[in-house]
Amino acid sequence: MANVFIRPSDSSQSVTIIDADTSFTLDREDCPCTIHNASATGAVVVTLPIDIKGGEQVTLSGMVAQTLRVEPQGRIWATDGTTFAKQADTKYLGAAGLGENVLLTAIANDGTDNVWLATAQSDMAQAASIGFIAVEA
């Protein structure tokens, strides 16, 4: 099965919903979006777009016990549970748990590098805890 995109068709829906069961690079045109892995039978890697506009948001939610990994093509600011800091450029977010979620907001883009702010975090986005954690590539 391929990834399923449900795009806004009228003003009643404001975000694209993506059921990711294979790895892919997100298109800027699909933002804002919510990505989940309900149909995944293996690991899924989502690469965030490089040409994102500041203020665009991507919500990710782990719905099955399969790895959902997010690679930013830039930098992510996230918390480790006690401090909020820029994660190393070699880090990405990854989760293998149910119900973990994170909201990523693009806060800067210079055409070659993005800066993403991880907010509304469950364990998924905490850099030093179980869940969606920032880990070395």
Residue of 52, 6, 35 whose CA lies nearest to 100: 35
Q: Which domain holds residue 57?
A: 4-136
Distance CA 60, CA 36 (A): 6
Question: SS3 of 96, please?
Answer: coil
Distance CA 27, CA 10 (A): 19
CATH label of the domain that carries residue 129:
2.60.120.640
| Number of domains composing the chain | 1
Take residue 27 and report the two structure tokens written for it. Answer: 């298109």
Residue of 50, 55, 57 whose CA lies nearest to 71: 50
Reported pTM: 0.78
Whether 20 and 40 have beta carbons less than 8 Å apart is answered as yes
Q: Show pLDDT as tens, one digit a residue, over the chain (137 residues).
A: 566 777 666 556 678 899 999 999 999 888 899 999 999 999 999 998 888 888 889 998 888 888 888 888 877 877 666 666 777 666 677 776 777 888 888 887 666 667 888 876 665 444 433 344 444 44
Distance CA 11, CA 106 (A): 23
